[in-house]
Amino acid sequence: MCIEQLFISPGHNYFGHHGQPPDIHPIVAVDEIECVAGRGIRGDRFFDYKPDYKGQITFFAAEVLDDLRISITDRCNERCLYCMPEGYKGWERQTDHLTAEEILRVVRVAAGMGFRKFRLTGGEPLVRRDVVEIVRAMHALPGVECVGLSTNGTKLAALAQPLRAAGLRTVNVSLDALGEVSYRRVTGGNLADVLAGIRAAVAAGFERVKLNCVLMRGVNESEIWPLVLFAAEHGLPLRFIQLMPVTSAEVLTEANFFPVTEAMRMLAEREELEAQPSHYLGFGPAKYYRLKHTGALVGFIGALTTPHFCETCNKLRLTADGKIRPCLGDHGELDLRETLRAAPTDEAVREVLLAALRRKPLEHGFGRQYQPCRPMTAIGG
């Protein structure tokens, strides 16, 4: 449905900067946009929107799609329960991974289309030997405002300083437990390496270091409060993430599923939770709260239990083997690698990205009998 004006709601900014725009203001007349399944398009810029009826006046609440998650490898030096199925051996051949030059070409084209935030993921991105060079080259590209990294932290101690010098601005570190036994049960890895990586990241002076904990019933409930205290002690935001059936549908059984609402109740029994402004730390889906006494800043990401969860999604994903995935909870992918290797011009790359944006669903399919296909390690976090 198209109407006379496309509007941005409070707290959202057309260009993706951090300033606060007026309460509601028009940005483009309807004759300048094409409306595709709830998506406004002006040139190369895409907007998800929803109608909000107030009397005879209709407004759009919009989100700028300007975040690209790039998996640079499907390899990992850990085997997390929620990311890699037991016995998994489905890794892509190295020749099927995008090269550094191909990754940078995608970033250059995407930045020219209005993408501003880029995050390197995996697998574990720090097992790729040229990761520092990729960050440095991305940081230098026109239009790139922020290069971030999601990591398990095991190799971060040695790489934090080189990455910061190369232009990396933010780091998210997975930390699902503080007990060595629990941590090894979840990841198969060495907790001491991760803690050393977190300390190195803080010392390197990144603009933001976040901790991520995936909630698993019967596995790490007892780790929630120790993690909160650890985050408070080090002044780091901690996000609790609800399991999604990306790798296995078994995560949704009563024996495994641990909703973020239950984690919130557990914390509220200990301390008062003070709601923080939306978009408190970036433009992700987490809802943040400050614990009144410890001062810990905690976020909750609940894809299956948070109403209207997808309305603020502003991202696409690029897999290590060159597939553009518009939505984590939808199997639809477009092959960008073939275009990168066959097309001499960037216009063909841009067309694939535009096609992916048009195919981005308005909501994920996790609640509609979603059946896992590619595991998380193959898609990218």
pLDDT of residue 209: 97
Lowest-pLDDT choice from 93-97, 158-162, 215-219, 265-269 = 93-97
Number of alpha helices (DSSP H) and beta strands (DSSP E) in the chain = 10, 18
What 3-state class would DSSP assign to 161?
A: helix
> What is the reported pLDDT for 325?
86
pLDDT at 31: 36
Closest-CA residue to 186 (of 196, 173, 199, 177) = 177
pLDDT at 131: 98
Report the side by side order of strands in the sheet with 287-291: 273-275, 287-291, 297-301, 238-242, 208-215, 170-174, 146-151, 117-121, 67-71, 315-318, 323-325, 334-335
pLDDT digits (tens, 9 = 90+) for 335-346: 999 999 998 889
In this model, does residue 313 exceed pLDDT 80?
no
Alpha-carbon torsion (78, 83, 89, 91), positive or negative: negative
Q: Which of 16-20, 62-66, 160-164 has the highest mean pLDDT?
A: 160-164
- Average pLDDT on 199-204 reads 98
Q: If you average pLDDT over residues 362-373, what whole number do you get? A: 58
Most confident option among 47-61, 87-101, 224-238: 224-238
Percentage of the chain modeled with pLDDT above 70: 66
Nearest to 186 by CA among 238, 256, 246: 256
Residue 50, H or E segment: strand 45-54
Q: Pick the more confident residue, 298 or 250.
A: 298
Q: Which is nearest to 363 in space by CA: 320, 293, 304?
A: 304
Q: What's the pLDDT score for residue 46?
A: 54
The token pair at 260 is 């973020």
Q: Where are the alpha helices (DSSP H) in 250-336?
A: 260-268
For the entire predicted model, the pTM comes to 0.81
Q: How far apart are CA 300 and CA 236, in angstroms?
A: 14
What distance in Å separates the CA atoms of residue 143 and residue 112, rounded to the nearest whole number?
7
Residue 355 burial (CB count, 10 A): 13
* Cα–Cα distances in angstroms (integers) from residue 324 to residues 67, 319, 380, in the given order: 13, 6, 11
Q: Are strands 146-151 and 170-174 parallel, antiparallel or unpaired?
A: parallel
Quote the percentage of the chain above a pLDDT of 90.
50
Q: What is the mean pLDDT of residues 339-356?
A: 91
Asked if residues 102 and 321 have their Cβ atoms less than 8 Å apart, the reply is: no
Are the CB atoms for 374 and 329 separated by under 8 Å? no
| Residue 35 clears pLDDT 50, i.e. is over it | no
| Across 51-60, 198-207, 369-378, least confident range | 51-60
Rg (CA), the chain: 20
Contact 152, 121 (CB under 8 A): no
Q: How far apart are CA 129 and CA 149, in angstroms?
A: 15
Give the mean model confidence (pLDDT) for residues 132-138.
98
Looking at per-residue pLDDT, the higher value among 92 and 166 belongs to 166
Lowest-pLDDT choice from 82-91, 119-128, 150-159, 209-218 = 82-91
Between 190 and 64, name the one with better pLDDT.
Answer: 190
CB atoms within 10 A of CB 69: 21
How many Å apart are CA 164 and CA 143, to the nearest integer? Answer: 19
Structure tokens at 295: 């001062």
**Residues making up the chain, counted from first to last:** 381
- Pick from 38-52, 63-77, 225-239 the range whose average pLDDT is largest: 225-239
Tell whether the torsion through CA atoms of 37, 42, 45 and 48 is positive or negative. Answer: negative
What mean pLDDT is reported for the chain?
Answer: 78
